[in-house]
């Protein structure tokens, strides 16, 4: 397992987690993404199996398989890359100005088209709202970018159902030939989980996985966010893999007693999978919910 510290978070993160469904032809096998030696606590694996069983052939699973759930950033920077470090800094801080009015459109629906077939109509976001999602500050004394025009177009995006072509607002950035793209359609509502969440720390210290941070090109490993405190040896994330799902369950390694500062540290944890992720759903064992894609405290979570 690979761990890489990302940041210290001064508050609890609200986890939305993605899950895979348990196959009906047999039990799943656990893969260990943690640093701690030994087997996972029986209560943790039991909870993971309960979540997988609850999702299997459930109404929630059917709704998930028919919905539009982005698994990549809704904001896509210019394809050519930023010309300077100042421009990159302006993008990352959202210091982006508008030099002209944005277009209005009477179109209220956009169509998501999957590469392997199938489509879905979803509400279309107005250009102004799309602009505000990445233009978060307006400080003329710091490096900034300027939007000079916008039009409705398309982009490609990874979703829970594979690659899709989706409507997007294309924003012209002063000094750049390629546009900044912002996905213009909203995700489907999340289905109600078919199982109740457990309290944090229940089931021998089970914790939530906060987010999906990335997937290997071959789909054989995933990187997720997990949290721990200042008085332990870091997060441990394990996966219960089945033909239909991957249920992630997190804990911490070697928690120490005694005085400890109150802080929550998020780290990236990379897990190797027994089989490629493919279209299996990622679920969080503690909450029973799908795991969203996203950067910590980022402006564009994959769904709300």
80 and 107 co-located in one domain: yes
Residues contacting residue 69 through CB under 8 Å, at least 6 positions apart:
159, 160, 161, 187, 188, 190, 290, 302, 303
175 and 214 co-located in one domain: no
Q: What is the pLDDT of residue 104?
A: 87
63 and 202 co-located in one domain: yes
201 and 277 co-located in one domain: yes
d(CA 25, CA 133): 44
171 and 237 co-located in one domain: no
Domain extent, residue 268, equals 2-67+191-284
The reply to whether 9 falls in a domain is yes
Mean pLDDT, each 10-residue run in order, the chain (304 residues)? 40 33 36 48 91 96 94 92 97 95 88 95 95 93 96 94 95 97 94 90 78 91 84 84 93 72 81 92 94 67 59
Pick from 132, 159, 183: which residue ends a domain?
183
222 and 278 co-located in one domain: yes
Nearest CA among 150, 220, 215 for reference residue 180: 150
Pick from 119, 152, 183: which residue ends a domain?
183
* CATH code (residue 80): 2.40.128
* C-alpha dihedral sign at 151, 152, 153, 155: positive
C-beta atoms surrounding 117 within 10 Å: 7
151 and 199 co-located in one domain: no
Q: What is the pLDDT of residue 167?
A: 97
The reply to whether 173 falls in a domain is yes
8 and 49 co-located in one domain: yes
113 and 25 co-located in one domain: no
232 and 164 co-located in one domain: no
51 and 96 co-located in one domain: no
Pick from 163, 183, 203: which residue ends a domain?
183
Number of domain units in the chain: 2
d(CA 249, CA 239): 6
- 183, HSE (Cβ side, Cα atoms, 13 Å): 28
State how beta strands 96-98 and 145-159 pair.
parallel
The reply to whether 300 falls in a domain is no
167 and 196 co-located in one domain: no
Q: What is the pLDDT of residue 47?
A: 94
Q: What is the pLDDT of residue 105?
A: 79
């Amino acid at each position: 397992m690979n761990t890489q510290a990302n940041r210290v978070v001064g508050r609890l993160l609200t986890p939305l987690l993605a899950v895979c469904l348990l196959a009906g032809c047999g039990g799943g096998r656990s893969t260990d993404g943690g640093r701690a030696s030994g087997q996972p606590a029986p209560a943790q694996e039991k909870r993971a199996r309960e979540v997988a069983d609850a999702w299997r052939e459930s109404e929630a699973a059917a709704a998930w398989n028919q919905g539009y759930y982005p698994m990549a950033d809704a904001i896509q920077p210019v394809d050519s890359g930023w010309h300077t470090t100042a421009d990159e800094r302006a993008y990352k801080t959202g210091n982006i100005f508008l030099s002209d009015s944005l277009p209005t459109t009477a179109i209220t629906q956009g169509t998501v088209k999957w590469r392997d077939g199938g489509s879905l109509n979803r509400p279309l976001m107005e250009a102004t709202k799309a602009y505000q999602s990445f233009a978060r500050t307006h400080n003329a004394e710091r490096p900034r970018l300027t939007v000079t025009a916008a039009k409705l177009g398309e982009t490609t995006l990874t979703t829970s159902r594979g690659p899709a072509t989706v409507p997007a607002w294309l924003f012209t950035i002063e000094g750049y030939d390629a546009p900044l793209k912002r996905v213009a359609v909203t995700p489907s509502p999340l289905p109600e989980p078919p199982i109740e969440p457990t309290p944090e720390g229940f089931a021998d210290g089970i914790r939530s996985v906060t987010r999906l941070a990335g997937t290997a090109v071959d789909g054989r490993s995933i990187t997720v966010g997990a949290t721990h405190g200042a008085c332990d040896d870091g997060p441990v994330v394990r996966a219960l893999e089945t033909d239909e799902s991957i249920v992630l369950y997190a804990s911490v390694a070697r928690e120490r007693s005694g005085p400890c500062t109150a802080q929550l540290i998020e780290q990236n944890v990379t897990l190797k999978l027994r089989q490629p992720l493919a279209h299996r759903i990622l679920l969080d064992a503690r909450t029973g919910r799908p795991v969203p894609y996203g950067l910590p405290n980022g402006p564009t979570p994959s769904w709300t």
